[in-house]
Structure 1
Amino acid sequence: MMSTRLEPIQIGAPTGRLSDWVIAPMHFNGFAGLPTTRNESVKSPKFSCFGHQWRLLIYPGGDRESSDGCVALGLQNTTKESIEVETKFIIKHPHGGGDIRKGWDKVARLSPKGSAVVGDVGSARGYNNFALRSTLLDYLFDGALIVEVHMRTNKPGQQSAPFVPENPAFQNMLKDFGNEETADVKFEVGGTVESAKGRRKRAKTPTNTFYAHHYALRWNAPTLADMCKPGEVSPTTITNVRPEIFKHLLYYCYGGKIVEGDLQSDAKDIIEAADRFGIVSLKLEAEACYVDTVEVTLDNIVEIVTYADSKNLALLKEHCMDFLSSANKIEAAEKVSFDDIPSHLMKDLMVAFARREGEGSGNGDTLSSMRVSQLRKLAHEKGLSVDGSREMLIDAIKDDEEGGETES
């Protein structure tokens, strides 16, 4: 039997999720001359806080339940909505003596204005015996009694946020995916497919026709966009790509997400096609997936790193060099044909050794010791291309920084 779980319902404010304190100083001028008749109050003007209207009431002669000589003090919610607040009252000594502080260490509910008192819950909260009037007379500033009202409440995020639909742009683009009626470009995909070892074999499936929109390709697959023109009657022929891979590419150009299973099983084909048609972000996503799934050994490392170098897969090259730097040196020397590894990758290997041994950059150049993902992130933040080897990334970042220094 299935069950449905509702969203958590918060009763009160979770610990640590209250707003900052808001302080409202109230000046009761000429306090010594205020009437001391029991249950006669002096009210402050209304003030706003947390979207509510408030008023502070003081009873210089006490209220009905006050002890003789005591002043009563209370905060009143004058809005017709309830609210939960934590409150404290502070009166500071004019000459640096001890302050008078009273309040509650947890949030309490104040009812709407005019509502009946139920138990301890009403529209006002305060103290019948806040302090002796004779004591408060020693706390006057130029004849005024200054009461600081400190308040805080639940953060707005604790209340149910209004529902606002997400920007529908991507979803609307996806609705246009494969729409033959509105498409302005057409592709015929199939024919011959080149195998991994360079042999050519005839595809077993017939040629597939795909419809697309040039605007979706212009920014997301610029090389593919350059191969076709909007409104052409004849389709653009695409060979050496399996139709299902080309469909993945088009779907991605419309903002779609390729499911993990397809990305894992077709990673190399997607890398090949994305690299060919200029879909850099998809190429790097497929590369990251391939790095997570490929098993590098001393027997296959030359094949994998050579492939990585041919496609400018910097993350995969780094993965291979990390493996090689951690391998048994004697075993690696016996099994790995270093003559077949491109010589320029020796620098990447040295960086992997240095990183493994905890060495920093010898000349203070932190870029040289950064990982590929860090370099790509930095390049992306600067608006630079994230495709290319680690050396290309470092050079591009340095050129950008030097250009910025020159301008400044």
Structure 2
Amino acid sequence: MRVRFLGLPSCASTYSCSYFNLKKMKLSRPKVHRPINTVTLDVGKPPSSRGETWKTFTILYHSFEQLSTGRDHGIMSPNFSCNGKWWNLAIFPCDGGEAPDENVSIDMYHVSKGSASATFSVGILDMNGVVASEYDRNEHFFGVEEGVSFDDFIKRSDILDPSKNILDSNGTLRVKVQMKEEPKTAFVPPNSFANKMKALFLDEASADICFEVSVPAEEEGSDTAASDDLFHAHRLILDTCAPMLAALCVSSDNGEMAIATITDVSPKIFRQLLFHVYG
């Protein structure tokens, strides 16, 4: 990886390019070309990765063939913003010198104060919008004007080759930058506590309290015998959510299960009451 440090122009909101010389920093006012908004429509269920949000910038380098091809002569884009940070791109039309088959290099710069991390891709598009060459990176930038270089991005001869259909009829080169947008709010997974509480309802294996709910025979009718129902519960849950029920159960010093007898409510109603305690 080769890193170049440049003096960079102030922030701008357009996406066409200004010329500069690394040694003399000669700048010319760029033409303004606004990117075309695109809409993607899904047919069928998209893959899970489509949940990520990416911001796309299209940078137009006009009259590419006439751009300076001297060593370390580059063309810098206006600044663009993503994730609260400012960035720009520099293209070196002929990074190694005047030879026609030299490679074109592209640099990506972080131009905000402080450090920043970015997941991004840089690609050159042909006239049909097909990517002719592309690189992906996940980089951390430690300070302002720190950049990362994509050396040998594409051969200059390939860009100028009419059969490749990379330059349009005006000789314009299109470079696409895509940056992954960070979520604006932290992801909070669903809380499973309520489901775990309900799973403990009447769980005899983990219980330390047992309610014996009885209905006297005379209340059920002469043809029905007395009935007893056992309801297992947990002292910690009752102490927190139903302290009056917890008070009915005397703690055992030897670790045995505490048992409480209830005779003034039917088992069906008591079960509903206990279920409400567990959520």
Quickly name the TM-score band, shorter chain normalised: 0.3 to 0.5
Normalization by structure 2: what TM-score?
Answer: 0.47
Structure number with the higher helix fraction is 1
Structure with the higher fraction of residues in strand conformation = 2
**Bigger relative contact order, structure 1 or 2, given CA contacts below 8 A and separation 6+?**
2
Q: TM-score, normalised by structure 1?
A: 0.34
